[in-house]
Amino acid sequence: MKKTLPQKFLLLAVVLMWSLGGLAHAQTATADSELKAASAAAPTTTTQAAGDPGGSTTGTVNDVPVSDAKAGVTVADVGNQVGQNKIAINFTWTLITGFLVMFMQAGFAMVEAGLCRVKNANHTYMMNFTVYACGLFAYWLIGFAIQMGGAAGNGNLGGLQPLNGEHTMSLFGKTWGLWGTQGMLLSGHTYDVGVMVIFLFEMVFMDTALTIVTGAAAERWKFLTFCVSSVLMGAFTYPIFGNWAWGGGWLAALGSNLGLGKGYCDFAGSGVVHAVGGLTALAVALIIGPRIGKFNRDGSPNAIIGHDISAVLIGCFILAFGWFGFNPGSTLGASAAGNLRIGSIAVNTMLAGCTGTFGAMLYMWALKGKPDASMSANGLLAGLVAITAPSGFVNPVGSAIIGAIAGVLVCLSVAFVESKMKIDDPVGAISVHGTCGLWGVLSVGLFADGKSNYGGAWNGVTGSVTGLFYGDASQLVAQIIGIGTLIGFVFTFSFALNWVLDVFLGQRVSAETELEGLDLPEMGQLGYPEFVFRPEPAFMHVEAAAVA
Amino acid sequence: MAATKQQGQWFGLFLIGLTVTCAGIYDLSSGTGKIALALGLVVLVVSFLRFLGLKPLEGKVALGAQPAGMKAVGVLVTAAGWLLALFGLHLASGVGGRMVFAILGLGVSLVGVVLILPAACNKNAIWKA
């Protein structure tokens, strides 16, 4: 029978596929036999028993787990082991950097307590200590699910497929993510190894945001209200914005839905962590009011000096150390998908901290006459806060510029918040984390150099994040929308929430407690019982008497 | 008054209420979940009422009365700026137009945060007395 042309092609294709299949089978068989030969040639237990001082006989093909003992090690076994090694490297990286971020709590505690008066030391330390438990508990209950419950698809951590629920809304013909739905109490199908890793990492970030607020409200925040406020922030305020930016929410989708760059980009959290913390700090500071004696009748501010500058500076170094977890860790892996950029991210982090320190120190030294220690410390933190969002997308020169601007900006912002807005922020948290956090978000839209490539896409949009100075103005729009959301939504939400708490619980301790110091009335124990307290200036007693 | 036993008790109750509420949401499809959610919400309300009962015992705070209306205006203006930026994404299709709306919205929000709210919260500040 004469074959038609399509039949001939079909026959040819079948023959070709059979040949290729046979070839592949032959290659696999060859590889398997090579693996068996390597296994036979590998050091025996007797050889290894002699010790391996040079490290040349430890870790061989015989360490690859086999699926079938009779067949021995196969190509499939090696492939599985390579895949598991990639995930193991990324798990280890993410966990260790998460541990570093967790230790930042100690740095925050030292900085904040050092900048407060000795009579409030125990209370300030205790807030920084307790916020860890409050935040973690709330995040485990519901916060993590809201933030990351729809964040499936991260190949660095094995896919995170159990986190596959995002509540969405259709608007203007597009779908927008609002909050996640999977992962409450880490139960059911989210009892998963990958989910545990991302939970730990995201939780320590959340706790960093929470602890920022305690600085701005220090020396007058009622401990009970602080506890409730922190629980609610860990459960709702932080996770909602976290979802929009990192959990597959609508801000991240600005690129895929509207063509605005790669969507809102915040590599490690200048916005998600620091601006959320700083703006919530602003909301609480507004509601709670200034400390007794902070402002004179004409509105001019008085300096209320902290008790331990050594704690402040050492705390800053602890924070700078922890930041190596914050920024490089935000790759969520060290292996594959462009993650080798971790070195660049770490260097960017260092540089911005360095130029931030110089920015603040030189500003104070040149304009005020002294290289003020607390402002220099805030300059370091300002640089680190600002580089957090762009650290994964910019080059070292960009980092240095971003950090230097942040260093000067924090000095200007501290003066503005205190002198113009009449807000009392004992540690400068609003300026360091709020103002410089927003600057960091903006700087992505300016300085991102288009050279990063994390698996070829960001927020589901192919290509590298590129800012205005490198040719993409639309990325800047996405970043400004992010800033608008932080101020317009996060601040508003925080203000409303803490206003309600003020109505039910009262945010502030009594004037009597405030003058005495919060350590004894609120904590029942002095931070430094053997210190001799210097009496407060007379005008503070006059102001307190006016209250009574 | 400072910290008291009652504060600790009602904060504990608040945490229990939140936990039961979340357990209810987690298992909302079942009857047990619905009961847990309702129970948790009741416990939360009770804890807040208890907090409210403790508040007068705190004593005088060094804070003047803040005008609620002015604060509400500040909050609304701040949120309105955000909504303006969001609707600008729909109203304008080009990058330039969206940039203008985003900056405009940001400006409106900043009026709320930097001007109105600090003025409201400091209107009756005790340091002015």
Cα dihedral sign, A70-A75-A77-A81: positive
pLDDT at A193: 95
Residue type, A238: Y
Residue type, A105: Q
B22/A282 CB distance under 8 A = no
A521/B3 CB distance under 8 A = yes
Paired tokens of B124 = 């009756």
Phi, psi (5° rounding) for residue A461?
-110, 125
B2/A522 CB distance under 8 A = yes
Contacts of B92 in chain A (CB under 8 A): none
pLDDT at A373: 94
Paired tokens of A412 = 């200007």
Which segments within A107-258 are labelled E, that is strand? Answer: 166-171, 174-180
Minimum CA–CA partner of B118 in chain A: A421
What CA–CA distance (Å, rounded) separates A524 from A83? 54
Shortest CB distance from A224 goes to which of B7, B63, B114?
A: B7
Contacts of A438 in chain B (CB under 8 A): none
Test the B interface: residue of A296, A477, A520, A536 with most B CBs within 10 Å: A477
A483/B126 CB distance under 8 A = no
A510/B71 CB distance under 8 A = no
Test the B interface: residue of A300, A481, A499 with most B CBs within 10 Å: A481
Residues 6 or more apart from A430 whose CB is under 8 A from it?
A216, A278, A281, A282, A285, A413, A417, A423
Q: Give CA separation, A373 vs A323, B15, B99, in Å.
A: 20, 40, 39
Helical pair A75-114 and A121-138, crossing angle rounded to 10 deg: 150
Smallest CA–CA distance, residue B102 to chain A, in Å, is 6
For residue A72, count CB atoms less than 10 angstroms from its CB and return exposed for 0-12, middle for 13-18, buried for 19 or more.
Answer: middle
B85/A480 CB distance under 8 A = yes
Instruction: Give ∠ CA A526-A528-A531 in degrees, rounded to 5.
Output: 115
Asked if A206 and A272 touch (Cβ cutoff 8 Å), the reply is no
Mean predicted confidence (pLDDT) in B88-97:
93
Q: Which residue has the tokens 């902070």?
A: A294
Minimum CA–CA partner of A186 in chain B: B26
Minimum CA–CA partner of B51 in chain A: A505
Asked if A165 and A188 touch (Cβ cutoff 8 Å), the reply is no
Weakest-pLDDT range from A386-395, A535-544, B21-30, B105-114: A535-544
Paired tokens of A424 = 């009392």
What CA–CA distance (Å, rounded) separates A180 from A243? 7
Shortest CB distance from B59 goes to which of A296, A496, A510?
A: A510
Shortest CB distance from A488 goes to which of B48, B71, B81?
A: B81
Per-residue pLDDT for B16 more than 80?
yes
Average pLDDT for consecutive 10-residue bins of chain A (548 residues)?
Answer: 57 58 65 85 86 87 88 90 95 97 97 95 97 97 96 89 94 93 95 96 97 96 97 97 96 95 96 98 97 93 93 96 96 89 96 97 95 95 98 97 98 96 96 98 97 89 95 96 97 97 95 93 90 72 69
Asked if A291 and A220 touch (Cβ cutoff 8 Å), the reply is yes
Asked if A544 and A511 touch (Cβ cutoff 8 Å), the reply is yes
pLDDT band for position B50 (cuts 50, 70, 90): very high
For residue A99, count CB atoms less than 10 angstroms from its CB and return exposed for 0-12, middle for 13-18, buried for 19 or more.
Answer: middle
pLDDT at A329: 96
Stated as kind and residue range, the H or E segment containing A216 is helix A193-216
pLDDT at A1: 46
Shortest CB distance from B85 goes to which of A224, A422, A481?
A: A481
Shortest CB distance from B58 goes to which of A290, A294, A510?
A: A510
What CA–CA distance (Å, rounded) separates A465 from A447? 10
What CA–CA distance (Å, rounded) separates B92 from A170? 19
Shortest CB distance from B2 goes to which of A227, A496, A513?
A: A513
pTM of the model: 0.91
What CA–CA distance (Å, rounded) separates A535 from B58? 24
Phi, psi (5° rounding) for residue A171?
-145, 130
A509/B75 CB distance under 8 A = no
For residue A454, count CB atoms less than 10 angstroms from its CB and return exposed for 0-12, middle for 13-18, buried for 19 or more.
Answer: buried
B58/A138 CB distance under 8 A = no
Test the A interface: residue of B1, B113, B128 with most A CBs within 10 Å: B113
Paired tokens of A305 = 């000096």
Q: Is residue A543 helix, strand or coil?
A: helix
Q: Which residue has the tokens 């740095």?
A: A107
Stated as kind and residue range, the H or E segment containing A461 is strand A461-462
User: Which has the higher per-residue pLDDT, B126 or A493?
Assistant: A493
Interface of B with A in 68-127 (CB under 8 A): 71, 75, 78-83, 85-86, 89-90, 95-96, 98-99, 102-103, 105-106, 109-110, 113-114, 117-118, 121-122, 125-127
Q: Give the residue from A387, A354, A380, A375 showing the smallest Cα distance to A427.
A: A375
Phi, psi (5° rounding) for residue A271?
-90, -55
Q: Give the residue from A249, A222, A37 showing the smallest Cα distance to A146.
A: A249
pLDDT at A47: 86
A481/B89 CB distance under 8 A = yes
What CA–CA distance (Å, rounded) separates A443 from B13? 44
CA dihedral A516, A518, A521, A523 (to 10 degrees): -150
Phi, psi (5° rounding) for residue A383?
-60, -40
What CA–CA distance (Å, rounded) separates A303 from B129? 20
B99/A473 CB distance under 8 A = yes
ipTM of the complex model: 0.96
pLDDT at A512: 92
